[in-house]
Amino acid sequence: MSTVAVTDQTFEQQVLKASGPVLVDFWAEWCGPCKQIAPALDQIAEELAGHVTIAKVNIEESPATPSRYGVRGIPTMMLFKDGHMASMKVGAMPKQKILEWLAETGVAAAAA
């Protein structure tokens, strides 16, 4: 499963009402660090399919959602569980650090 594009209109359905955990990546086309982590997030989406959904919100195309969750800088990654934000990381991280973060939150324990 690859990453899922989410908009202000689809955020509630695809993230808040999702059956499992969702890692939301808030990004923009002009953001260099966002582009750096994109391949790692794509790989994680494939490796952890069934454990976590990786969703991407373009902050320029969908500004209401990042505003609602207080996103100040990008990339910002938020982990949502059962409709609530459970954890957040700001800034680019290597793939291994993202996997460690997911393991700490109990999402990727089976796959880590």
Q: Could you list the active site residues?
A: 31, 34
Determine the 3-state secondary structure of 104 from DSSP. Answer: helix
- Rounded distance, CA 104 to CA 97, Å? 10
R_g of the chain computed on alpha carbons: 13
- Rounded distance, CA 72 to CA 82, Å? 24
Cis amide linkage into residue 75, ω under 30° from 0: yes
